[in-house]
Amino acid sequence: MIVPGASAAIHRGVDFQFYRLVPTDVMQISVGIGIRDYSSESVQSAMDLFWSCVQTLVDEGASTIVLSGVPVSAGLGRERVLELIEEVPRRFGVPLEATLEAIVRSLGALHARRVAMGSRFPANTNQAIAGYLADAGIEVLETTSRDISLADARQLTLEEGMLLALQVGREALENSPQAEALVLPGGATLSLHAIPGLESEFGKPAVTNLSAEVWSALIRPGHIPPVAGWGRLLSQGPS
CATH 3.40.50.12500 domain extents, the chain: 101-211
pTM metric for this prediction: 0.93
**Distance (Å, whole) CA 70 – CA 90:** 24
Angle at the Cα of 73 from the Cα atoms of 112 and 166, rounded to 5 degrees: 55
| pLDDT tens column, 106-126 | 999 999 999 999 999 989 899
- Quickly state the pLDDT bin for 7 (edges 50, 70, 90): low
- In terms of phi and psi (left: phi > 0; alpha: psi -120 to 50; beta: otherwise), the region of 111 is left
Please name the amino acid found at residue 211. S
Please name the amino acid found at residue 157. T
| pLDDT tens column, 34-60 | 877 767 777 877 788 899 999 999 999
Mean residue pLDDT of the chain comes to 91
- Quickly state the pLDDT bin for 8 (edges 50, 70, 90): low
CB 209 within 8 A of CB 185: yes
CB 120 within 8 A of CB 146: yes
Nearest to 23 by CA among 239, 214, 159: 214
| pLDDT tens column, 61-106 | 999 999 999 989 999 999 999 999 999 999 999 999 999 999 999 9
Q: Where are the alpha helices (DSSP H) in the chain?
A: 40-46, 50-59, 70-76, 78-92, 99-109, 123-135, 150-155, 158-174, 194-202, 209-214
SS3 category, 225: coil
pLDDT for res 154? 75
Mean pLDDT of 15-27: 92
Pairing of strands 139-143, 181-184: unpaired
CB 30 within 8 A of CB 3: yes
CATH architecture of the domain covering 101-211: 3-Layer(aba) Sandwich (3.40)
Does 228 have pLDDT greater than 80?
yes
Nearest to 138 by CA among 195, 186, 100, 81: 100
Mean pLDDT of 129-141: 97
pLDDT for res 224? 95
